[in-house]
Amino acid sequence: MILRKKQLLTTLFMSVCLLQTPMLMAASDMRTEQVQFKKGTSSAVISSSIKGYEMVDYELRANAGQVMNTSLATKHGATYFNILAPGENETAMFVGSTSGQQFEGVLPKTGIYKIRVYMMRSAARRNEVASYRLEIIISGKATKTTSHDAKVVGTPYHATGKIPCTAMSGQPMGTCQFGVKRQGNGNALVTVTHNNGKKRVIIFQNGRATGYDQSQADHPKFSSSKDSDLNIIKIGSERYEIPDAVVYGG
């Protein structure tokens, strides 16, 4: 009886270890590096590589109103970079897989920016290796952000409401709830919630929709166009119509 109890405890212990191992491995796949410009310069060039599910966060401090120019050169067709604004850990203000391998724009906030280099899952699960060259340039003087909105009580958003939307092509337009976090200068994150609870975070830069948060499992095609002051956004079979007033306020 005692032997059987010992065997059971051993089995349970091994099961817990096996369940925890993927979590520990996932945590070790992310590393953080501080970007330091050489004295008298405002740029840095980093040459490195990643393998499989490895990701690197390059962190640097910049001020609202400054211009960031970041580009990634790699021969690996499934390696990209995202840019995360200060205080963000998941939602990116720039998504390389939909917007390309170069970002240039006015920074909306003062603080620590993360430039996250990663490999798409299709290549990561094959444990491929990608070498890359990352160039970061910060220029211009700091200015005060133009967003002074008060938050909607009880929410993290500067404004909430409804926008026209549809989840499937060919279906009539309905409405979806939205919440917007304005970052100034036409930069914003618009979170849209469908009636079934599904969410999309749409990224605006300088008043234009440039991508969406791809932390979800699906990665449908993104496109956007403008009709006067209306942003028409398509993500796979989904369609959203977001007025400029949502992004800028007023």
Domain ranges of the chain: 29-139, 159-248
Strand partners, 217: none
Residues 156-174 pLDDT 10s: 888 888 899 998 877 788 8
SS3 8: helix
pLDDT at 51: 95
What's the whole-model pTM score?
0.55
Report pLDDT for 150: 61
Residue of 68, 104, 105, 108 lying closest to 86 (CA atoms): 108
pLDDT digits (tens, 9 = 90+) for 61-81: 998 888 899 999 999 999 999
pLDDT at 215: 63
Q: For residue 51, report the phi and psi dihedrals to the nearest 5 degrees.
A: -135, 130
Which residue positions in the chain have pLDDT lower than 50? 1-3, 5-6, 8-27, 145-148
Q: Largest Cα–Cα distance of the chain, in whole Å?
A: 79
Q: What whole-number percentage of the chain has pLDDT above 70?
A: 82
Give the fold, CATH level 3, of 29-139: Jelly Rolls (2.60.120)
- What are the E-state strand segments in 171-245? 174-184, 187-193, 199-205, 208-212, 222-227, 230-235, 238-243
